[in-house]
Amino acid sequence: MNNPIIFVRVATEEDAIYADEIVKETLNSAIIRGSGISKRTPESIIEKMKTGKAIIALTSGGEWVGFSYFETWEHGDFISNSGLIVKPKFRNSGVAKCIKNRIFNLSRRNYPQAKIFSITSGAAIMKMNSQLGFEPVTFDQITKDEAFWAGCASCTNFDILERKKRCNCLCTAMLFSPEHIDHIVTHASLAEEKQHSLEIH
């Protein structure tokens, strides 16, 4: 494969033409990995595009490359970053990380005080989450919105989730808390001020 120019941007209504392909590739990827996944419909993907809640990657020639979206829960107190998928031939090129960063930043820009979470069984996603400041948490620390958990009903591992009374499942929950990052920034600033003061004296 030659190295095409890839654009990563906020998806719009015009990108609805890629919805079917996104859904099919997401399902195929889960089957190949042997992992469970909450099934998505083209209509739900298009809705995210229309409302500015999705990031899409395309080549300069208009070929679909990758996608991800976010959703709000509990009146915007929680945001989920979900559905990250990259077309097989474009994997291992860094585009997944670029999409992940963009959907995270879009979530933060629109809902700066919200806690952002991701549940995944993929090691690569966990690594990207960690680099952004996400930490592993128990399921009771993310949204309790029934609509979110209803989305898990189509996953092949839903019976495990139910048997464990939503305490855990095969997926790992990871959470980014604005308070946590603010705490880190504050401590870093105080340490820098202390060092500067020592240098002056």
Residue-range domain boundaries for the chain = 6-200
Going from the C-alpha of 105 to that of each of 26, 83, 108, 139, 175, the distances in angstroms are 22, 16, 5, 23, 15
Provide the 3-class DSSP secondary structure of residue 86: strand
CATH class of 6-200: alpha beta
pTM: 0.82
Between 76 and 194, residue with greater pLDDT: 76
DSSP letters of 19-38? HHHHHHHHHHHHHHHT----
Residue 181 pLDDT more than 90?
no
**Confidence at residue 35, expressed as pLDDT on a 0 to 100 scale:** 59
Residue 201 pLDDT more than 60?
no
Average pLDDT value for residue range 93-112: 95
**Confidence at residue 159, expressed as pLDDT on a 0 to 100 scale:** 83
What percentage of residues in the chain have a pLDDT greater than 70? 85
